[in-house]
């Protein structure tokens, strides 16, 4: 990684922390993005899928179906988790619990054989995905409307530095012993927990004055709110349209994250080490992308940035499929890897601020549950569609990549109709919070 880029990212932490947010809170929040990206890269994208297919002789579908099961469980429970976090004084305890459980089961991956490890993966990924609901909903606690894009982009950028840490650790371990991927799993769990600690201690929330402690009453309130929230979201047509569009572009992004290691080795013909090197190139693009797209989000608007990210995604997916279909030179995949990282960072840098721009602050947790639900629905459909195209129909992985491009094009049409002008929420849409953090 370019040292100057790392220095610039650190300087950005200081810059945005001076503009309407607590410095330690911003630092803790972005470090959690670093922590969970280590898990996302090492477990969801690379080493665990390679362990299933290469080391244990499994199929693409064995891993992808396990991934879809964890996403299906999150799809069913995300609205309740989000509503529950609205009923309790703080969201941080939920983030702590989901993180610790995820780390525990990540450390167990690679023990007990393929089936047992797939079950552990389902649990670990479920709690990882659940933690994102509470983590994303903490963004208003460390930002203002004027700095939200930069801080969100900064989190993405610093997060991908976590990917460099994760891949670097994995390269060291597997260069000594290629069969030592279970060691990578345990070290990933440890790094996730260590880098999450500053967020647990430094991010300060305003305590909700009308909330109750976690227990039967908060569960009763959250359950009662589920139906109300489903009807309430219809009052916000821009939010509804965004959530529908989000299904399609997160389908493409999550599926590509899950299969990039398999596609690079089995379709393009790279070795494990070469795929890891391409991912490193992509991560460098992501670090730069988080900083650049985050600034554009604040300068223009979240939807302006997301529109342009989706155009770039469509072009990159077409290029990825073309390499496999027409047997184009393999070195083109390095260019695609660089710009895919740049685009992926832009997706998340624009996605979170757009959700916050469209969401009434009082219902942040509940609507973030819906936000997570539609993302996980996409994560169910994408891998299953990939499995049908590749394993059942036998059309090949390039055809599956083209299906992802179609998803992006559909999302572009839907998102174009979203108006993300700033809204003056009325009093009933604003949270009631105590003055004390």
CB 189 within 8 A of CB 169: no
Instruction: Identify how many contiguous H helices and E strands the chain contains and give both numbers.
Output: 15, 0
Q: How close are the terminal C-alpha atoms of the chain, in Å?
A: 37
The pTM of the full predicted model, rounded to 2 decimals, is: 0.75
- pLDDT of amino acid 208: 60
Residue 318, Cβ density class (10 Å: 0-12 exposed, 13-18 middle, ≥19 buried): middle
Q: Which of 297, 301, 312, 286 minimizes the C-alpha distance to 408?
A: 312
Per-residue pLDDT tens over the stretch 264-293 = 888 887 887 788 788 778 888 888 898 899
Query: Could you confirm whether domain 15-206+228-419 is CATH 1.20.1250.20?
Result: yes
Residue length of the chain: 437
Residue at token pair 């299904």: 247
Q: Which of 388, 345, 106, 380 minimizes the C-alpha distance to 254?
A: 380
Per-residue pLDDT tens over the stretch 186-202 = 999 999 999 999 999 99
Per-residue pLDDT tens over the stretch 239-270 = 989 999 998 998 888 788 767 777 888 888 78
Gap between the Cα atoms of 26 and 150, Å rounded: 11
Of all helices (H) and strands (E), which one includes residue 62? Answer: helix 60-87
- pLDDT of amino acid 11: 52
Q: Could you tell me which residues come within 8 angstroms of residue 77 by beta carbon, excluding any fewer than 6 positions away?
A: 130
| Domain range summary for the chain, segments of one domain joined by + | 15-206+228-419
- pLDDT of amino acid 402: 92
As a whole number of Å, the CA-based R_g of the chain is: 20
pLDDT for residue 430 is more than 50: yes
- pLDDT of amino acid 221: 62
Q: Go through 30-50 and write b for each residue having 16 or more CB atoms within 10 A of its CB, e for each that does not.
A: bbbbbbbbbbbbbbbbbbbbb
């Amino acid at each position: 990684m370019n040292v100057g880029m790392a220095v610039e990212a650190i300087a950005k932490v200081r810059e945005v922390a001076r503009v309407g947010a607590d410095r330690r809170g911003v630092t803790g929040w972005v470090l959690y993005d670093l922590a969970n990206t280590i898990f996302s890269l090492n477990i969801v994208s690379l080493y665990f899928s390679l362990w299933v297919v290469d080391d244990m002789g499994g199929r693409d579908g064995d891993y992808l179906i396990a991934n879809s099961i964890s996403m299906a469980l999150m799809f069913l429970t995300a609205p309740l988790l989000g509503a529950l976090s609205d009923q309790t004084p703080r969201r941080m305890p939920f983030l702590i619990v989901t993180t610790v459980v995820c780390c525990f089961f990540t450390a167990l991956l690679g023990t007990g054989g393929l089936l047992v490890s797939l079950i552990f993966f389902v649990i670990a990924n479920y709690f990882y995905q659940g933690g994102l609901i509470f983590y994303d909903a903490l963004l208003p606690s460390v930002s203002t409307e004027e700095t939200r894009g930069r801080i969100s982009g900064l989190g993405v950028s610093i997060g991908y530095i976590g990917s460099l840490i994760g891949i670097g650790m994995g390269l060291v371990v597997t260069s000594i012993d290629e069969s030592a991927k279970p060691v990578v799993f345990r070290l990933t769990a440890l790094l996730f927990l260590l880098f999450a600690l500053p967020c647990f201690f430094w991010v300060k929330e305003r305590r909700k004055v009308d909330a109750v402690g976690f227990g039967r009453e908060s569960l009763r309130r959250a359950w009662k709110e589920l139906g109300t929230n489903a009807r309430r979201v219809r009052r916000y047509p821009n939010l509804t349209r965004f959530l529908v569009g989000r299904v399609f572009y997160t389908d493409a992004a999550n599926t590509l994250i899950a299969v990039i290691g398999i596609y690079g080795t089995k379709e393009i013909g790279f070795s494990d080490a070469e795929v890891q090197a391409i991912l490193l190139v992509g991560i460098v693009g992501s670090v730069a992308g988080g900083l650049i797209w985050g600034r554009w989000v604040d300068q223009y608007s979240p939807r302006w940035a997301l529109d342009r990210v989706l155009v770039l995604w469509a072009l990159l997916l077409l290029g990825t499929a073309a390499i496999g279909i027409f047997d184009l030179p393999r070195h083109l995949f390095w260019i695609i890897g660089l710009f895919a990282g740049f685009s992926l960072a832009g997706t998340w840098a624009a996605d979170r601020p757009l959700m916050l721009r469209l969401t009434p602050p009082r219902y942040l947790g509940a609507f973030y549950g819906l936000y997570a639900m539609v993302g996980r629905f996409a994560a169910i459909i994408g891998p299953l569609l990939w499995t049908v195209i590749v394993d059942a129909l036998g059309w090949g992985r390039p055809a599956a990549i083209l299906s992802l491009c179609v998803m992006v094009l559909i999302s572009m049409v839907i998102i174009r109709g979203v108006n993300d002008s700033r809204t003056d929420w009325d009093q009933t849409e604003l949270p009631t919070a105590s003055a004390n953090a």
